[in-house]
């Protein structure tokens, strides 16, 4: 029995996190003092919350060993689906709250680079673990966390009180920050954004940091680390990420039927072929590079039993679409495009630009936020990423 407890305990996870560099020495005492298991509800869905690598529900009351193994594994745990409307054991449509992967939690805390006396604003309380870690490190009086969902906020507060830590948890719109605690030395988001809210910049001290998952509509999200100064913020991406979107920035995407206008494919589309495989544009770094260049565009994949699929690309105004058919082992691929934007040609141009720059990873890209909006750049703010289309 003792060996079993050691197997599912937190020490093995801590060792792995330390070895990977995610859990640094200054955070190790906090990791030990604020165990993840105190912040995880009885019912969880372990794994990647996209329906493809998601495990069935694990219930602590029915299988406590499986629950502990999941909690002490380096994986995300979905804790809510569909803003709480889904209550069954199966997967819902949209994951809406979670306990993030520990590797990502401590990597982002390392990016945050907190010091004694710092005041921190967190966007997205979730289970309360992340803000409890910050409260243990900095003192609860120095941490404010904002959660939009009242029930999620209530659960987080209970978890934190049970752990003897009570940072200020505000129920509200995370885009607005919280002026009552400003200015902050650090801002951290545990939900992704496609646009950095202006309030986060305004409520951060000059020289302070904003650490947040950021991604274009097309895909390819990454953690951005912005340094605030003189009414603006700028900095590099540090690593890839995959977080749930800030609820107020969730895209409301048109359905497929809005594009073909009641006609059968290929409708009024123009046929062509390409030597660029649709599979080549699907990587996470490739999606980021393409998404930074193609605004107002998203994609879906229609998959078939033989491994083939159709990559559909759409403009959000419903005026343009493209389909590219992937066939395993093929050297050329059929394309159909319709509308004023030639979306597959734009995809090719964006991909070949990325290839021409030496296939840069996330850490070569960065973002600047100022009164004119947001601009992505490669290697330096002086080298903005070009737009296509």
CA-based nearest residue to 295, from 325, 317, 270, 274: 317
Which long-range contacts does 192-195 make (Cβ < 8 Å, 24+ apart)? 192/221, 192/241, 192/243, 192/244, 192/245, 192/246, 193/245, 193/246, 193/249, 194/245, 194/249, 194/251, 195/249, 195/374
Hey, how many other C-beta atoms are within 10 angstroms of the C-beta on 15?
A: 11
Question: Angle of helix 129-138 relative to helix 150-162, nearest 10 degrees?
Answer: 40
Give, in order, the Cα–Cα distances in Å from 25 to each of 19, 22, 38, 136, 185.
Answer: 11, 10, 22, 15, 22
H helices present in the chain, as ranges: 2-8, 10-20, 28-33, 64-71, 102-112, 129-138, 150-162, 198-202, 257-260, 284-293, 343-356
**Residues annotated as part of the active site:** 100
Question: Angle of helix 10-20 relative to helix 102-112, nearest 10 degrees?
Answer: 50
Hey, how many other C-beta atoms are within 10 angstroms of the C-beta on 386?
A: 12
Interatomic CA distance for residues 353 and 347, integer angstroms: 10
Interatomic CA distance for residues 362 and 263, integer angstroms: 40
- C-alpha count within 13 angstroms, C-beta hemisphere, residue 62: 6
């Amino acid at each position: 029995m003792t060996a079993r407890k050691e197997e599912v305990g937190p020490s093995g996870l801590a060792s792995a996190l330390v070895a990977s560099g995610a859990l640094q020495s200054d955070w190790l005492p906090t990791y030990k003092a604020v165990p993840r298991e105190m912040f995880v509800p009885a019912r969880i869905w372990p794994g990647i919350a996209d329906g493809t690598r998601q495990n069935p529900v694990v219930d602590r009351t029915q299988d406590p060993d499986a629950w502990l193994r999941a909690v002490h594994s380096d994986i995300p745990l979905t804790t809510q689906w569909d803003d709480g409307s889904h209550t069954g054991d199966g997967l819902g449509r949209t994951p809406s709250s979670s306990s993030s992967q520990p590797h990502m939690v401590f990597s982002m805390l390392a990016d945050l680079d907190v010091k004694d006396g710092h005041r921190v604003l967190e966007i997205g309380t979730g289970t309360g673990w992340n803000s409890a870690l910050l409260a243990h490190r900095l003192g609860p009086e120095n941490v404010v966390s904002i959660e939009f969902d009242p029930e999620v906020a209530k659960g987080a507060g209970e978890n934190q009180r049970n752990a003897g830590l009570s940072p200020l948890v505000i129920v509200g719109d995370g885009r607005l920050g919280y002026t009552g605690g400003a200015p902050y030395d650090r801002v951290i988001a545990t939900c992704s954004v496609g646009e950095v809210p202006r309030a986060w910049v305004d409520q951060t001290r000059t020289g302070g940091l904003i650490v947040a998952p950021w991604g274009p509509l097309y895909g390819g999200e990454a953690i951005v680390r912005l340094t605030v100064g003189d009414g603006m913020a700028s900095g590099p991406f540090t690593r890839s990420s995959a977080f749930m979107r800030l609820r107020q920035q969730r895209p409301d995407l048109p359905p497929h039927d809005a594009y073909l206008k009641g006609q059968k494919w290929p409708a009024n589309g123009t046929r062509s072929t390409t030597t660029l495989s649709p599979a080549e544009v699907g990587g996470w770094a490739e999606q980021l590079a393409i998404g930074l260049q193609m605004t107002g565009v998203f994609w879906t994949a229609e998959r078939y039993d033989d491994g083939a699929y159709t990559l559909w690309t759409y403009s959000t105004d419903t005026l343009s679409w493209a389909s590219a058919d992937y066939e395993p082992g093929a050297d050329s691929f059929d394309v159909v495009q319709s509308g004023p934007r030639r979306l597959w040609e734009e995809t090719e141009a964006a991909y070949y630009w990325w290839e021409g720059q030496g296939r840069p990873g996330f850490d070569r890209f960065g973002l600047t936020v100022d009164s004119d909006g947001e601009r992505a750049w490669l290697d330096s703010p002086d080298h903005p990423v070009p737009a296509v289309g």
